[in-house]
Every structure is written in C-alpha cells, then in structure tokens.
C-alpha cells in the first residue's frame, strides 16, 4: 500500500512538472488543465484515503470481497460495452468515412475517458442492484 501511495505522489508531481513545462512552451490552456486535473485527483484521493483511515479506526472494513466482486463485474460489463462501441465506430467510420480532424492523442484520451466512465457507471449500477 505504501508503494502505491508513493507511486501516486510521484505521478502527480510528474504531471504538475509536465504542466509547468507545457506552460513554459506557450500552451497555457493545456498546461493549466493538466495541473488542475492532477491537483483535483490528488485532492480526491487524499479525501478518500482520509475516509478509509477513519473507517479503519472505527473498525469498519472499507474494502471487502463484495467491493472486489462488484469492481470485477463492472469492469467486465464496461469492457463488453466498450468493445461494442468501438466496433460500431469502426463500422460507421468505414461506411461513412467522416472527416473528423482528430489527432491520435485526442482519440486515445477520449477512448480512455469513455472506458473509465463506463466502469464507474457500471460499478455504481451494480452497487445499487446487488
């Protein structure tokens, strides 16, 4: 657990440094967005770690077999929907050949965000249902 926290802090610091470098090259919007995103994730994870520590002090288990089960079930559902969406996009792209001015980096970011949002949505859905 300590190695994961250290790796997380290092990644946040690297993202802030990368944002600072991007600002120095002239792309202020991208740099500020990267720094703001890194600080936002850091703040949310800090709050999450503090709540888990408070639960542990009270003797309440924060992660059990149920949360692992829900997480794996949500991940499987997210991957299935993700593959279906990608297949439909490839099919639509090959049929209609849209002229979207999308760089590969933008596309990778959009697809990664889609996967994360699908997993989060399915996790909360399964948490309510089961």
Over range 62-89, report the average pLDDT: 85
Other C-beta atoms lying within 10 Å of the C-beta of residue 82: 15
- The alpha-carbon radius of gyration of the chain (Å, integer) is 19
Q: Which one, of 18, 15, 22, 5, lies nearest residue 39 by Cα? A: 15
Over range 51-60, report the average pLDDT: 82
Q: Quote the CA–CA distance of 13 and 18 in Å, as a whole number.
A: 9
pTM of the entire predicted model: 0.58
Q: What is the tens place of the pLDDT at every residue in 9-25?
A: 899 999 999 999 999 99
Position 1 pLDDT exceeds 70: no
Instruction: Give percent of the chain above pLDDT 90.
Output: 22
Q: Quote the CA–CA distance of 42 and 30 in Å, as a whole number.
A: 18
Residue entry with tokens 């965000």: 113
Position 91 pLDDT exceeds 70: yes
């Amino acid at each position: 657990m300590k190695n994961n926290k250290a790796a997380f802090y290092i990644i946040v610091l690297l993202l802030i440094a990368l944002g600072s470098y991007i600002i120095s090259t002239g792309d202020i919007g991208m740099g500020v967005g990267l720094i703001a995103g890194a600080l936002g994730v850091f703040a949310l994870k800090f709050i999450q770690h503090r709540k888990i520590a408070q639960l542990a002090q009270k003797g309440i288990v924060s992660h059990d077999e149920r949360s692992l089960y829900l997480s794996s079930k949500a991940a499987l559902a997210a991957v299935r929907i993700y593959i279906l969406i990608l297949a439909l996009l490839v099919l639509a792209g090959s049929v209609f050949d849209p002229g979207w001015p999308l760089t590969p980096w933008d596309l990778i970011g959009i697809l990664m965000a889609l996967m994360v949002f699908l997993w989060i949505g399915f996790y909360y859905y399964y948490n309510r249902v089961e």
